[in-house]
Chain A
Amino acid sequence: VNSYFGIGIGGMVPLAPEIEMAPGLNLFGIYDTQSILFGIDCNLWGMSSDSRYSYADFGISAYYAFGRKFIAPYIGGGLSFSAVDYETEVSYVAEREYYDYDIQGYRTSEETEYNTYVDDKSGIGAFIGGGVMLNRASSIILLAEVKYFVSFFKLAEPKGTVTYEQW
């Protein structure tokens, strides 16, 4: 046994522009050369209904595996191409016209309105991390993995309130 394919459950916790837990699913493949693990991953994070992030990536990686036993820790990293949508709620003051029956005419009022602004970006990024492989070299394996990622692009900072013209 030296190839594995499977699915994962997990998520990401972006630190910028806003800290949030964005859970989702993963598809992966690993080729095990005894000392090095080569991996391909597809991550789909932000699938929960309350997530502001919607994220997908495709990455390739290499990890050094410690030992050759059935429990194998590994560390390494790789590169990925990712696309992300980030929603922020923006408020703005809008002038609204309404008909006033008391004066039989139109009046204007200023009202604070809210809307969702979506910033969508894509590009490449890098990640480092590690994990533990259980039941290595068997027909069923389990991996627990944590990594730190940096994408080489920025997402818009949450603005809060903008002018009507800016909106």
Chain B
Amino acid sequence: KLFQGFMFNLKLGYGF
């Protein structure tokens, strides 16, 4: 089986 799975992420960004 290929290396696989799920990722989850909470991101905080600065917009300009």
Contact = CB atoms under 8 A, between A and B. Distances in A.
B3 A154 contact: yes
Contact of A12 (B2, B5, B11): B5
Interface residues on A, range: 35 or more
A6 B10 CA distance: 11
Main secondary structure on B side of the interface with A: strand
Interface residues on B, range: 10 to 19
A131 to B, nearest CB: 8
Interface string A134-167: 0001111111111111111111000000000000
B2 A150 contact: yes
B3 A153 contact: yes
Interface in A1-31: 1-17, 19, 26, 28, 30
A8 B9 contact: yes
A137 B3 CA distance: 36
B1 A143 contact: no
Contacts of A148: 4-7
A81 interface: no
B13 A143 contact: yes
A4 B2 contact: no
A82 B12 CA distance: 23
